[in-house]
Amino acid sequence: MQSDVQLLGTQVNLLWVVLGAAMVVFMQAGFALVETGFTRAKHAAHVVSTNFAIFGLGFIGFFLIGFPLAFGGFSYSAFGMDNAVGEALLGSGNWIFLFKGGWAMSGDGITPAVLGFFLYMVAFMDTVATIPTGSMAERWKWSSFTIWGVFCGAIYYPLFAAWTWGGGWLAKTWDTMSLGAGYVDFAGSGVVHAVGGVAALAGAIVLGPRIGKFGADGKPRAIPGHHIPMAMLGTFILLFGWFGFNAASTFAATDVQFATVAANTAIAAAFGSIAAMVYITKRTGKPDPGMMVNGMLAGLVAITAPCAFVAPWAAAVIGILAAILAIEAVFFIERKMKLDDPVGAIAVHGVNGIFGVLAVGIFSNGSYGAGWNGSASKGVEGIIKGDWGQLGAQALGVAVILLVIFPIAYGFFTIQNKVTKGGIRSAEEDEINGLDVPEMGVKAYPEFT
Amino acid sequence: MQSDVQLLGTQVNLLWVVLGAAMVVFMQAGFALVETGFTRAKHAAHVVSTNFAIFGLGFIGFFLIGFPLAFGGFSYSAFGMDNAVGEALLGSGNWIFLFKGGWAMSGDGITPAVLGFFLYMVAFMDTVATIPTGSMAERWKWSSFTIWGVFCGAIYYPLFAAWTWGGGWLAKTWDTMSLGAGYVDFAGSGVVHAVGGVAALAGAIVLGPRIGKFGADGKPRAIPGHHIPMAMLGTFILLFGWFGFNAASTFAATDVQFATVAANTAIAAAFGSIAAMVYITKRTGKPDPGMMVNGMLAGLVAITAPCAFVAPWAAAVIGILAAILAIEAVFFIERKMKLDDPVGAIAVHGVNGIFGVLAVGIFSNGSYGAGWNGSASKGVEGIIKGDWGQLGAQALGVAVILLVIFPIAYGFFTIQNKVTKGGIRSAEEDEINGLDVPEMGVKAYPEFT
Amino acid sequence: MQSDVQLLGTQVNLLWVVLGAAMVVFMQAGFALVETGFTRAKHAAHVVSTNFAIFGLGFIGFFLIGFPLAFGGFSYSAFGMDNAVGEALLGSGNWIFLFKGGWAMSGDGITPAVLGFFLYMVAFMDTVATIPTGSMAERWKWSSFTIWGVFCGAIYYPLFAAWTWGGGWLAKTWDTMSLGAGYVDFAGSGVVHAVGGVAALAGAIVLGPRIGKFGADGKPRAIPGHHIPMAMLGTFILLFGWFGFNAASTFAATDVQFATVAANTAIAAAFGSIAAMVYITKRTGKPDPGMMVNGMLAGLVAITAPCAFVAPWAAAVIGILAAILAIEAVFFIERKMKLDDPVGAIAVHGVNGIFGVLAVGIFSNGSYGAGWNGSASKGVEGIIKGDWGQLGAQALGVAVILLVIFPIAYGFFTIQNKVTKGGIRSAEEDEINGLDVPEMGVKAYPEFT
């Protein structure tokens, strides 16, 4: 029985989760604007519409079966929640396992708090779903895209989520393999961003580059985005939403670490944007707006896993490294791998998602995360504290993303490409003329272009 | 005397109301972008400016006399608030009745909480005021428009609000006519959206269609919007704000139903957008972005009244039906009624506002709303629970909107049209060349068009 | 030792601060859109990028040394916080004084709450830093601009902040000079907006007007902004964020005055926008969108200092006066001072920041602010209550901004202009062709212009 104060605390915790969910849902607008701004006007209705429709497509898959699949075996400690706080909020576990009737939020255990938790989680899933719309932009057939959305919400995202946040085997490697506190990922550098980033990679490989991206000599050509202010507005919306993404991942206003998380998030974003400005200016002579944007986003992606476990100085270092990594990765992916990723989604979400996961094992200072995943009660510690076990758990998670999750995405797009009449890529003529009219039936800007 | 815990709960409840108010105020940006994106570039400064100015115009009318007119007889149960929670927040009733000095927020009873409540309510009123700027876009004289704004805030909106949320006769039909729990409208499918939607209908009738909308044969011609990404950004802003619109309508963080409300809101939005995509693709062959937007908005409008009373599966069904209804209504209004509604405001807010009101009487499952309107203590139940009385109360509300409120709007615009020199419609020449320069003195995009 | 209820209250207070911080950070998007929309397309990538990069530039300066410089001597009463509430949140004072190791948020006293407080404060600082990007737009060399950003965060902003909110000498004039409650500035009409506004003035003087702004006869020519909907979206984002800016400046959800503050903020915005519409229509015949925007922003700036101390009617009056003041100031600055301020930043933030500071000394009604700055325990009272002392304290603050802070900004830009090769102004050729390609390496809209 909760006291009056505990009850009020639980109510406030739920309010924080719901507010956080609203902010993460709003991030869909940010992704839409960044991806649309950094691509061409003739495809703009198509690009923005994929980012619009993905919200509902992924949502429906997750609502019907993804949520119970991911969190049916849920344990509070896999979110770092105090068990008492978690039970006060959501009740005892196993409330929604798929085969106990949890599909379509229909089981007996569906309380308001479970619905609030679902809302927060569906918004995270949609972030995964929307990442490939960036790397696959300007050449992805609409009908093929829609299937990805449902697949991502129903099956693709829930897999790795179940193994980590759902309390699955990667969460338990502290016990089974003596690796730190098991896989720790505060708000999803890995569970969300890297998982989305490897899908973006798979999709870009299967689709191939846009017509004209590589010259006859194999050298990449710049294809400038059509609307820089749009992309920067999108980035600010993402920054705003990221406070909900990271800080509300305490699932508790009563865990004041949310303030540390929020500050670290901003610190990494700030240092990331400026590090990118300095680095790209050194490399090319100009403070390229696209790279400043990607530097901030890279910092945000990379801080997402470690944000609760590191000191402010480490957040700054993570932001700086993330920005440099993003810029080098953009060049590497384009010039060495000969892949076409119109918005840098692989570099930002994939590469820096992985970096963020590893950063937990490097920079965590032991001040937070005691009992995470049900492990022994010391805080999460990285190699700066002399502990290499946590880095091992994180590296194992990265290996699973690369060796298990990436092949699933690659297999999905490859099979879909084979079984779909004409493949998953838009018709060549449509791509050249712009996807807007043939795919969507309207132009984005009928009066400007 | 409140205990310390109760006092803190009241403070948190007020915080939730104020945060919700900020989110609803932000929806003005969403309306502005949707309406501007779906109209033409030559009128863009005019359209966006009507959406900008309406905030202040309606606000001033509501501040001066609308608020005490609507809520002077206010009772907590008409918002479904527990009386003790309500009194802790706002004190005992009749704190601001117009004739007791409540105009311009000037009475003795003006506490911080009353000001917070006012802020939330003024944002709802402004949503009503801004709906006709969509259906009347591209041909509404600026000076005429400004009078509508003040009228809506001062008188038009407060009427139906007083009869329902204000505790008036429609709230009491559970007692006077034995109809369910009386008229129930959680966050305003009727009080806000349908009331705004019928004003949009009245305005579109009085103004007549845009030049060129109907050919000599009477067939409608498509007039494409000039900026699809702008409209979709606006929709995402509306989705974000809607969490404040619906979930904060508990007026209490201590009523955790806000989480159910938030989840149902998102569910209806997601299913609405995808149902519209599927339905319009079947009908026309393309996933029209405008219809996807209107599908999501229709789902949001329709779930606004029933969001606290229905199960998640019902929210999904409501979203699907709302989207189909919106699309059919758009075609019906244009092709059968020969009305010109540039952004689909009548279909989205009017038709689906009405559907939402009725949905309370159909899908409510009895789990919430005990004592609503001061009625007997069972929860609100629709015909899925075998109770037809609630549907009766809702249908009566709809009848009042159609037979009393719509004529008031129609009368207002008709009279204004007669007494205004040259009528309320812009000059033909201005409409053809674009309203921006003659009405606003500037072009929206002097360098693009 | 706090009780359970007090502890929960403290946690909720911190949540409010962090939510407020997120909203204020989001205001950067608003500034970016207003400034970009009101300038020309050929400079749009440059203008939006200055507003983007300033976030990180100012942040880094403030993170490294600005924060401890400003708030090292911090006292709760300079924010009007109850000492017990403040200590519960942030601990006892002097937690981060620069020379005690507080740089880069590295000292021993860095709790989650201090990090949350830092986040809120860094967002305020960034508002100051971004104001000159408006008045100096379209002709400011990128490399010069970046130095301003760091200087503002590290030194420029912290000075006046230390003397006021930091508990410095201007906060203590109630004691040293018997002036009211000492300098009182609830959310920063002076500390933020006027301080930023005088920097905008200094920068505009040093840079000189844009090529073509003044004819050979010395008469100003209109240079229309390229995107009105963008500017209005930005204004709505600012309005939304301002609820965090002002209302969360209670630093406490347990101080329900936040609701009064939020309502007064909206009232001033609403009346400001409509007063500007009426006034500019009388003056020029058209409801100029730019002036409506500046009217709303002027109302918001002016209410920022007095929002907690005045009645709703006074908020309306302040909004009206602010709008008229802004319009007259725009004309005066352009026609009499022959200065070129592309977006009206000096009039909106400078002139109305000063007006807001003085408005505290005029309209405060004594209902709030007892013990502010450690003064005697009556509320803050302006001359409407017969007390001229408060206006004296405010006027002294204004004098310091004009006579000490403005010269610092002017000196900074002047010296920078001398020591920088070619000065701080962009090359003439670049300005004529647009700064986007030469400074940023990309065009904002390669397909539209």
Q: Judge whether B170 lies within some domain.
A: yes
Give the CA radius of gyration of chain A: 21
Q: How confident is the model over B144-182, as pLDDT tens digits?
A: 999 999 999 999 999 999 999 988 899 999 999 999 999
Q: Which of A175, A192, A174 is nearest to A183 (CA)?
A: A174
Whether C257 sits inside 8 A of B448 (CB atoms) is: no
What is the pLDDT, as a whole number, of residue C101? 59
Q: How confident is the model over C321-334, as pLDDT tens digits?
A: 999 999 999 999 99
HSE-up of residue C377 (Cα within 13 Å, Cβ side): 1
DSSP secondary structure, A400-425, as one string = HIIIIIHHHHHHHHHHHHHHSTT-SB
3-state secondary structure of A94: coil
Token code pair at residue A334: 């384009």
Tell me the residue range of the domain where B330 lies.
4-440
**Left (φ > 0), alpha (ψ -120 to 50) or beta: where does C344 sit?**
left
Residue type for position B14: L
State yes or no: pLDDT of B23 exceeds 90: yes
Question: With 0-12 CB in 10 A as exposed, 13-18 as middle and 19+ as buried, what is B447?
Answer: middle
Facing residue for B289 by CB, picked from A17, A59, A440: A440
Which residues, in sequence order, are CB contacts of A340 under 8 Å at separation 6+? A204, A208, A209, A210, A213, A214, A220, A334
**Other Cβ atoms closer than 10 A to A216:** 5
Residue A192 and residue A350: Cα distance in Å, rounded? Answer: 10
Q: Judge whether A449 lies within some domain.
A: no
3-state secondary structure of B382: coil
Facing residue for C446 by CB, picked from A224, A263, A448: A224
Give me the sign of the Cα torsion angle C305, C309, C315, C318: negative
Whether A258 sits inside 8 A of C18 (CB atoms) is: yes
Q: Considering chain B, what is the average pLDDT of its residues?
A: 94
Could you tell me if A333 and A347 are in contact, meaning their C-beta atoms sit under 8 angstroms apart?
A: yes
Q: Judge whether C118 lies within some domain.
A: yes
Give the helix/strand (H/E) hosting C35: helix C4-37
Q: Judge whether C446 lies within some domain.
A: no
Counting residues of chain C whose pLDDT is more than 90, the rounded percentage is 87
Give the helix/strand (H/E) hosting B227: none
Facing residue for B106 by CB, picked from C267, C272, C313: C313
Give all strands (DSSP E) within A184-339, no chain letters: none
Chains that touch C (3 or more CB pairs under 8 A): A, B
What is the pLDDT, as a whole number, of residue C92? 60
Q: How confident is the model over C220-247, as pLDDT tens digits?
A: 999 999 999 999 999 999 999 999 999 9
Probe site for chain A from C11, C111, C121 (most A CB atoms < 10 A): C11
Query: Distance (Å) from the C-alpha of residue B154 to the closest C-alpha of chain A?
Result: 32
Q: Which of B322, B325, B316 is nearest to B265 (CA)?
A: B316
Q: How confident is the model over B32-78, as pLDDT tens digits?
A: 999 999 999 999 999 999 999 999 999 999 999 999 888 876 677 77
Facing residue for C288 by CB, picked from B17, B63, B442: B442
Q: Judge whether A448 lies within some domain.
A: no
Which domain CATH number covers A288? Answer: 1.10.3430.10
Indicate the angle between helix axes C112-130 and C44-61, nearest 10 degrees.
140
Facing residue for A441 by CB, picked from B263, B266, B286: B286
Q: How confident is the model over B274-302, as pLDDT tens digits?
A: 999 999 999 999 999 999 999 999 999 99
Could you tell me if A369 and A309 are in contact, meaning their C-beta atoms sit under 8 angstroms apart?
A: yes
Q: Which of A75, A35, A38 is nearest to A52 (CA)?
A: A35
Instruction: Please name the residue that has the structure tokens 């009556």.
Output: C378
Query: Distance (Å) from the C-alpha of residue B108 to the closest C-alpha of chain A?
Result: 31
Whether A59 sits inside 8 A of B253 (CB atoms) is: no
State yes or no: pLDDT of C158 exceeds 70: yes
Q: Judge whether B189 lies within some domain.
A: yes
Q: Judge whether C447 lies within some domain.
A: no
Query: Distance (Å) from the C-alpha of residue A133 to the closest C-alpha of chain C?
Result: 22
Contacts of A16 in chain C (CB under 8 A): 15
Whether A292 sits inside 8 A of C52 (CB atoms) is: yes
Probe site for chain A from C14, C52, C150 (most A CB atoms < 10 A): C52
Backbone dihedral angles phi then psi of residue C442, each to the nearest 5 degrees: -140, 160
Query: Distance (Å) from the C-alpha of residue B279 to the closest C-alpha of chain C?
Result: 31
HSE-up of residue C264 (Cα within 13 Å, Cβ side): 34
Residue C180 and residue C173: Cα distance in Å, rounded? Answer: 8
Probe site for chain C from B12, B19, B440 (most C CB atoms < 10 A): B19
Whether B119 sits inside 8 A of C226 (CB atoms) is: no
Query: Distance (Å) from the C-alpha of residue A338 to the closest C-alpha of chain B?
Result: 30
Q: Which of A113, A135, A116 is nearest to A24 (CA)?
A: A116
Give me the sign of the Cα torsion angle A184, A189, A193, A195: negative
Question: How many whole angstroms from its chain centre is CA C296?
Answer: 15
Which residues, in sequence order, are CB contacts of B304 under 8 Å at separation 6+? B185, B186, B187, B188, B189, B192, B193, B242, B245, B246, B265, B353, B356
Whether A263 sits inside 8 A of C105 (CB atoms) is: yes
What is the pLDDT, as a whole number, of residue A78? 77
Q: Considering chain C, what is the average pLDDT of its residues?
A: 94
Interface TM-score (ipTM) > 0.95: yes
Q: Judge whether C115 lies within some domain.
A: yes
3-state secondary structure of B214: strand
Whether C119 sits inside 8 A of A263 (CB atoms) is: yes
Probe site for chain B from C82, C228, C249, C273 (most B CB atoms < 10 A): C228
Whether A247 sits inside 8 A of C18 (CB atoms) is: yes
Number of structural domains (chain B) is: 1
State yes or no: pLDDT of B95 exceeds 80: no
Whether C8 sits inside 8 A of A3 (CB atoms) is: no
Contacts of C270 in chain B (CB under 8 A): 55-56, 59-60, 63
Q: Which of B344, B347, B235, B355 is nearest to B304 (CA)?
A: B355
Give how far Cα C208 sits from Cα of B31, C50, C203, Å. 39, 19, 8
Whether A18 sits inside 8 A of B259 (CB atoms) is: yes
DSSP character at residue C374: G
Residue A66 and residue A160: Cα distance in Å, rounded? Answer: 12
DSSP character at residue C79: G
Whether C5 sits inside 8 A of A3 (CB atoms) is: no
Give all strands (DSSP E) within A56-104, no chain letters: none
State yes or no: pLDDT of C430 exceeds 90: yes
Mean pLDDT, consecutive 10-residue stretches, chain A (449 aa), reads 88 97 98 98 98 98 92 75 79 56 77 94 98 98 98 96 92 93 97 98 98 95 97 98 97 95 98 98 97 98 98 98 98 97 98 98 96 88 96 98 98 98 97 97 94
